[in-house]
Amino acid sequence: MEDDAFWAWAIIETLRHTGVRAEGLTELTHLALVSYKLADTNEVVPLLQIVPSKSNEERLLLVSPELASVLATVIKRLRDANGGKVPLISRYDSHERVTGPQLPHLFQRRPYWQPQVMSEAGIKRALDRTLEATGLRDQAGEPLRYTPHDFRRMFATEAVTGGLPVHIAARILGHKTLTTTQAYLAVFQDDLVRTYRGFLDRRRAERPQEEYREPTAAEWHDFQQHFELRKVSLGTCGRPYGTPCKHEHACIRCPVLQIDPRQRSRLVEIIQNLRERIREARANGWLGEVEGLQVSLDAATAKLNSLKRTPTDGRPELVDLGMPLFTDRGPSAPEG
């Protein structure tokens, strides 16, 4: 039916170009189209007033040429069918359970003898019938399912990936926090990499060229050493490169020592030995040595307890992948 096809097209295009909720779509009226004059250029731009719905906050949306074409077509269709006027009808709010005043609602149809504002359920049915008519299916072979809120997410994603700052997108969507807007975005990994590389290129173009040069072999070697892990008898030392060992290589006391689970038995032997030495020191009255040995014993016991909390449900242990090798750095790069 031509009328069904037209209103399905109008619903999809308006949702896609505004990001409004289904309730907000049913609230749109001819009076929502307003104009605004820019102070610096005196240019008049069209705006769409989104009346309060979920957030109870009015907001204005700049009307794009595509959206203006859709709304103009809707208005013309209503006028042609009603003697040159957009009929004034009341809208029933199913959430507030009240009937509003008579207004020139844009998304109205005449299913029987009088016009009615489309309901949210009617909008959803229009989307379902349109998708069913297309025969489109997902990768699993199941029929596609779209809700009005899916178009809201698509609007947010296209806006932000197109360069609109996320805080501006949040204002347009009527979100009170950026977290809500960010949850709407479907930004894939390649988009993140491409966008960040573009940011780096623009930032680099603004800096003096003399700041960018190939590192020397010594500089590149020092850079790699920052990521090297130092192997010690009980595991791996996590001490940053170029910093002194504060424990004079008494690794058992060091909080950055990462115990190798395969050294558990050796750690148990060290704990037993420390206990025997403490008993010997106490028997001989070496109180100063007792204090130092007790510090080592407490640290060793804590590390043994941490090993006992190591997952035993089959999850893989950490694997040392080593440092990556760069083979295309040019003549200044060190061999190997």
- pLDDT, one tens digit per residue, over 305-325 is 888 766 555 444 555 555 555
**Distance between CA atoms of residues 240 and 227, nearest Å:** 8
Least confident span in 15-24, 89-98, 195-204: 195-204
| Whole-number Cα distances in Å, 81 to 38, 86, 87, 110 | 36, 9, 10, 10
DSSP 28: -
Answer for the pair 109, 7: CB distance below 8 angstroms, yes or no. yes
How confident is the model over 325-332, as a mean pLDDT? 51
Least confident span in 17-26, 39-48, 99-108: 39-48
Q: 59-62 and 44-50 as β-strands: parallel, antiparallel, unpaired? A: antiparallel
How confident is the model over 293-299, as a mean pLDDT? 87
**Distance between CA atoms of residues 37 and 41, nearest Å:** 8
Question: Treating both helix axes as pointing N-terminal to C-terminal, what angle do 264-284 and 287-308 enclose, rounded to 10 degrees?
Answer: 160
More confident: 91 or 309: 91
Q: Which residue has the tokens 């042609």?
A: 80
Q: What is the pTM of this model?
A: 0.53
**Distance between CA atoms of residues 143 and 300, nearest Å:** 60
If you count DSSP H runs as helices and E runs as strands, how many of each does the chain have, helices first? 11, 10
Residue 157 has pLDDT above 90, yes or no: no
For residue 285, count other CB atoms closer than 10 A to its CB: 9
In DSSP notation, 108-173 reads EE-SSSS-EEPPHHHHHHHHHHHHHHHT-B-TTSPBP---HHHHHHHHHHHHHHTT--HHHHHHHH
